[in-house]
A and B are shown apart, each in its own frame.
Chain A
Amino acid sequence: MIRMIVQRLLIGVFVMWGAASLIFLIVRAAPGDPATVLLGPDADRGRIDELRATLGLDRSLGAQYLSYLGDVSRLDFGESHRLGRPAMDAVLDRLPATIDLTLTATAIAVIVGLTLGLLAGGRPGGPLDRVVSACTIALQSFPTFWIGIMLVLVFALGLRLLPSSGVGTPQHLVLPAVTLSFPFIAIIARLTRTSIAETMREGYVRTARSKGLTERQVLVGHALRNSLIPVVTVVGVQVGALVGGAVIVENVFAWPGLGSLVVDAVANRDYAVVQGVTLLIAGIVVVLNLMADLLIAQLDPRIRTGAV
Chain B
Amino acid sequence: MAGIAAVPEKVTTAPPRKRRRLLSRIPYLVVGFYLLVALLGPLLIDYDPVHTSLEDRLLPPGSETSTGGTAWFGTDGLGRDVLAQIVHGARTSVLIGVSTVAISCLVGVVLGAVAGYVRGGVDAVLARIFDILLAFPAILLAIVIAGAFERSVLLVVVALSATGWITFARVTRGVALSIRERPWVDAARVLGVPGRAILARHVLPFTAGPIVALATLEFALVVLAEAGLSFLGIGLPPSTVSWGQTIANGKEYLEPQWWISTLPGIALSLLIINVGILGDQLTARYRRGRTD
Contact = CB atoms under 8 A, between A and B. Distances in A.
Contacts of B143: 244, 247, 262-263, 266
Interface string A30-61: 11000000000000000000000000000000
A278 B139 contact: no
A22 B134 CA distance: 12
A190 B9 contact: no
Given A14-B128, A15-B131, A282-B136, A143 B14 contact: no
Contact of B232 (A149, A240, A251, A269): A251
Nearest to A30: B148
A143 B227 contact: yes
Chain A interface extent, by class: 35 or more
B43 to A, nearest CB: 28
A193 B248 CA distance: 34
A101 to B, nearest CB: 14
B9 A143 contact: no
Given A263-B143, A278-B140, A140 B8 contact: no
A23 interface: yes
B273 interface: yes
Interface stretch (A64-72, A85-93, A230-238): A230-238
Contacts of B12: 124-125
A197 interface: yes
B2 interface: yes
B22 interface: no
A191 B141 CA distance: 26
B135 A145 contact: no
Contacts of B7: 190-191, 194
A27 interface: yes
Contact of B131 (A11, A142, A241): A11
A245 B137 CA distance: 8
B254 A241 contact: no
B5 A194 contact: yes
Given A194-B8, A244-B140, A245-B137, A141 B276 contact: yes
B132 A27 contact: no
B239 interface: no
B132 A19 contact: yes
A303 interface: no
Contact of A19 (B9, B135, B148): B135
5 contacts: A15-B132, A137-B276, A140-B220, A145-B227, A194-B5
Interface of A: 11, 14-16, 18-19, 22-23, 26-27, 29-31, 124-126, 133, 137-138, 140-146, 149-150, 153, 157, 187, 190-191, 193-194, 197-198, 230, 234, 237-238, 240-245, 247-248, 251, 259, 262-263, 266-267, 269, 274, 278, 281-282, 285-286
Closest 3 CB pairs of A and B: A244-B137, A30-B148, A18-B132
